Amino acid sequence: MKKKCVGMLLAGGQGSRLGILTKKVAKPAVLFGGKYRLIDFSLSNCYHSNIDTVGVLTQYQPLELNSYISTGSAWSLDNVSGGVTILPPYQSRYGASWYRGTADAIYQNLSYLQSYDPEHVLIISGDHIYKMDYSEMLNTHIKNHADLTIGGLIVEPEEASRFGIMSTDQENRILEFEEKPENPKGNLASMGIYIFRWPVLKRLLKEDGVKEESQHDFGKNVIPAVLAQQLNVFAYPFMGYWRDVGTIQSFYDAQMELLLQNPPLNLFDKEFRIYSNHESLPPHYISTEASVTDSLISDGCSIFGEVKHSILSGSVVVEEGAIIEDSILLKNVKIGKNARVNHAILDEGVVIAADEQVGSAEQAILLLGKEESDA
């Protein structure tokens, strides 16, 4: 069935800088803001952008992600034609190959795209925090008769060397693109969001697929190749909230922003809801002795102690006398009596014994995982 635009969501990243948080799950499956997983943002964006056909490319620890995504019904992305399809590496008659890079992952799934024969292909990743209506970007892409449109973001000049930096003319036509330049010529950074005309993408990936020296990466190989070919390439400047949460610090900071008086990312907005696929838990209980301020508390929590400026995911228990401050507690964390947790991220299932002290305001964020259990 022919589609106007099909989405390809790159969800194979390990996210090794997130330490133990990605030991057992892929980065897009990491919990954020008490109840979301990172991928919720991209998938919800697809829903709100009327992109009803999305291939999700997985490779690293996909189990949690596969069962989380399921049919995509949580994001209203299950359709009679289209919907969400998980695309893991696979074996074919011609052999078996892991995805060698972001471009290769899509190259190996050209037949998936071919089955919808779309006019355009949207390529996004599953590990950024933002709300964006891709359909506006698509409309601009079509209006420009672009072969490729790249979502772009103004970054602080001192940050620029961490990104792919684009130089554009007044019509946003991209003149130059440098991946992680040492001396950035501008501060319009690529968000890693691409819309390609499908025939152009197909040709480029076939060309890139056979290049021995290529790392098969969009930023490093495909985009420079596009620019070298004098195609119609535009930037689409995005003005909204956007966060890369690739490090422990940025992961922590982005969540703490949710506790501001007027958070830059409004998750209460009913017109652009972030959907997620969460388990059914009862409301949370706050006891007579407890105190909760400046915090986000999820379903199923039981709070008998004090919680200040913290984010608690589902079914966290804070016993009497315990004090939680400036911390993020993921699912099923248990805090014993009179324990103290400060400036810490506790991974799923971590148990802090009574009277224990964990983390400190003076030190870097403490990331604590559960002891390895027998598998």
Partner 1 sequence: MRKVMGIIFQRWDHELQIFTMNRGISTIPFGGRYRLIDFALSNLVNSNIRSIGVLGGAKYGSLIDHLGTGQEWSLHRKSQDLAILPALENYSIEPGVYFDLRELLPSKLFIENQTTIQMIIFQPSNQINNLDFKPMMDEHFNSMNDVTIVAGNGRSDEFIGSPNENRRKWRNREILAVLVRRTLISQALQRMNQGGSYDLLNLIRRNQEHLRVKMLIYDGYYREISDVSGYYEANLDLLEAPVRKELFEGPRMIYTKSKDNHPTQYDNASIVNNAWIASGCQISGIIQNSIISRESMIGSGSVIKNSILMQRAHIGNDVYLEHVILDKAVTIRDRTVLKGSKDKPIVISKGSVI
Residues lying near partner 1 in the complex (CB under 8 A) are found at 33-35, 47, 50, 52, 73-76, 78-81, 259, 261, 267-268, 271, 273-276, 278, 280, 282-299, 311-313
Given 87, 204, 223, 346, the residue binding a second copy (CB under 8 A): 87
| Binding at 338: pick from partner 1, a second copy, none (beta carbon under 5-8 Å per type) | none
Tell the residue number behind the tokens 């890369």, with chain if given: 244
Residue 114 CA to residue 2 CA, distance in Å, equals 9
Residue 119 CA to residue 146 CA, distance in Å, equals 12
* Size, binding site for a second copy by CB under 8 A: 38
Binding flag, residue 198, a second copy (CB under 8 A): no
In the numeric block, which tokens belong to residue 198?
A: 């499908």
What are the two backbone dihedrals, phi and then psi, of residue 166, each rounded to the nearest 5 degrees?
A: -110, 135
SS3 category, 109: coil
| Binding at 76: pick from partner 1, a second copy, none (beta carbon under 5-8 Å per type) | partner 1
Write down the least CB distance from residue 37 to partner 1, Å.
13
| Binding at 194: pick from a second copy, partner 1, none (beta carbon under 5-8 Å per type) | none
* Closest to 125 measured CA to CA, from 34, 192, 198, 190: 192
Binding flag, residue 23, a second copy (CB under 8 A): yes
* Closest to 204 measured CA to CA, from 179, 221, 192: 221
| Binding at 66: pick from partner 1, a second copy, none (beta carbon under 5-8 Å per type) | a second copy
Write down the least CB distance from residue 236 to partner 1, Å.
18
Binding flag, residue 196, a second copy (CB under 8 A): no
Taking residue 62's Cβ as centre, other Cβ atoms within 10 Å add up to 22
Write down the least CB distance from residue 50 to partner 1, Å.
8
Binding flag, residue 302, a second copy (CB under 8 A): no
| Binding at 170: pick from a second copy, partner 1, none (beta carbon under 5-8 Å per type) | none
List the beta bridge partners of residue 234.
149, 173
| Binding at 320: pick from a second copy, partner 1, none (beta carbon under 5-8 Å per type) | none
DSSP annotation of 365 reads P
Residue 83 CA to residue 186 CA, distance in Å, equals 38
Strands (E), 131-275: 148-154, 164-168, 174-179, 188-197, 233-237, 242-244
In the numeric block, which tokens belong to residue 340?
A: 């103290």
Residue 220 CA to residue 179 CA, distance in Å, equals 6
Write down the least CB distance from residue 85 to a second copy, Å.
5
Query: 97 vs 363, which CB is nearer to a second copy?
Result: 97
Q: CA quadruple 84, 279, 28, 241: dihedral positive or negative? A: positive
Instruction: Build a one-symbol-per-residue string for 30-69: x at contacts with a second copy by CB under 8 A, - elsewhere.
Output: ----------------------------xxxxxx--xx--
| Binding at 162: pick from partner 1, a second copy, none (beta carbon under 5-8 Å per type) | none
Query: 280 vs 288, which CB is nearer to a second copy?
Result: 280
Dihedral angle at the C-alpha atoms of 140, 146, 149, 155, nearest 10 degrees? -80
CA-based R_g, the chain, Å: 22
| Binding at 63: pick from partner 1, a second copy, none (beta carbon under 5-8 Å per type) | a second copy
Query: 72 vs 359, which CB is nearer to a second copy?
Result: 72
Binding flag, residue 371, a second copy (CB under 8 A): no
Write down the least CB distance from residue 142 to a second copy, Å.
24
Q: CA quadruple 48, 49, 51, 56: dihedral positive or negative? A: negative
Residue 299 CA to residue 312 CA, distance in Å, equals 9
Interacting residues toward a second copy by CB under 8 A: 12, 14, 23-24, 58-63, 66-67, 70-71, 73, 78, 80, 83, 85-93, 96, 98, 109-112, 114, 279-280, 374-375
